[in-house]
Amino acid sequence: MAKISVIIPIYNNAAYLPKCLDSLLTQSFQDFEGILVDDGSTDGSAIICDEYLKKDSRLKVYHIQNQGVSHARNVGIEKATGEWISFVDSDDWITLDFLATLYGNIDENTDVVMGSLFFNIGEKEITRTCSKPCIRKKDFPSYPLAALVPDCSRADGLFVYMEILSSACNKLTRKSLLDSHHIRFNEKMFLNEDGLFHLMCYLKAKDFVIIETPVYHYRIRMNSSNQRFLPDVHHQNVIVSKAFSDFAKELPNNICSDFISLCSYRMYLNTMALYIEHPQNEKSLINKCRYLDKELDSGLYAISSIPHHLGHLKRMELKALQRHWCTILFALNRIRMLKNKVSF
């Protein structure tokens, strides 16, 4: 039985898959099994999986009908035999010491350990890390809020990039934690599903550890699943809202209201990025404003409180969401988009 099970869900990523698999097979920590779940690929990814299966006995390949990344990850969890679980996306890659670094930061009380990230956009690479070499659960009570908006980590005198907490990858998670608390990916969700999964892990964990060492290369592509044009984003937001509201019932009362408000803010960001302001949306600005006004009237984006440690721009956005100021929201959104573009 391998110490670590590395689960790679795969769907039509033939162009990037070899680099991903090579980065796994050359790990300095070798006591692992690689579980490749081919989610009904049609571009040759399935053939690549089978070719790599012949190269290394540590790999296992499962070909399934296409049912989405959450189902593929859940299949991987069920097939895993390792004491620890890690996820790698098939268009990303990991550093040589990814497994060794994470495993080396485990103690008997640790249920989750997470490393920092490299973001790769074409030839550009930037680092997403945290403000201390090592952060533990007891030092970070605001983690549920920081998993939605990174500014909230400042409440604990820290700064942790949201993606470190919310990404499905860059982590080792104790499999017994998942099994004893029946934690699995919500297969109805394809937005924010990885963040919800790990929030459930953090809540139930005895302890978690965040390290500042970047260990995971996250490839950003405009045609990836979390960047695509999504005209039916409202329907997905309804599912996300219900799932996060159910989770919020287990949170301490002192952060529950802020958590729900930040969930509403994340859904608003989904709507703006994946539909209203997406490059493929050819509607006029007036029609976009009308759509947003209708969305705000739906109640999905209700803001009951504004956390104190948010940056000025985000506080303005939440205030505008509270009051349904569509014109101001468009202006603030475009400022944020420009800032994000400059940061890369």
Instruction: Report angle CA 84, 6, 17 to the nearest 5 degrees.
Output: 165
Position 16 scores a pLDDT of: 95
Position 266 scores a pLDDT of: 93
**C-alpha–C-alpha distance, residues 318 and 262, integer Å:** 9
Strand pairing category for 93-94 and 84-87: unpaired
Instruction: Report angle CA 31, 34, 37 to the nearest 5 degrees.
Output: 165
pLDDT tens digits for range 189-242: 988 999 999 999 999 999 999 999 999 999 987 656 567 888 989 999 999 999
Q: Which tokens belong to 241? A: 């809202």
Give the residue with greater pLDDT, 229 vs 41: 41
- What letter does residue 160 receive in the DSSP assignment? B
Q: Which tokens belong to 229? A: 């044009």
- Sole residue written with tokens 């506080």: 315
pTM: 0.93
**C-alpha–C-alpha distance, residues 292 and 273, integer Å:** 12
**C-alpha–C-alpha distance, residues 29 and 105, integer Å:** 13
At 27, is the secondary structure helix, strand, or coil?
coil
Is the pLDDT at 342 greater than 80, yes or no?
no
Exposure string of 239-262, with b = 16+ CB inside 10 Å and e = fewer, is bbbebbeebbeebeeebbbbbbbb
Confidence of residue 308 (pLDDT cuts 50, 70, 90): confident
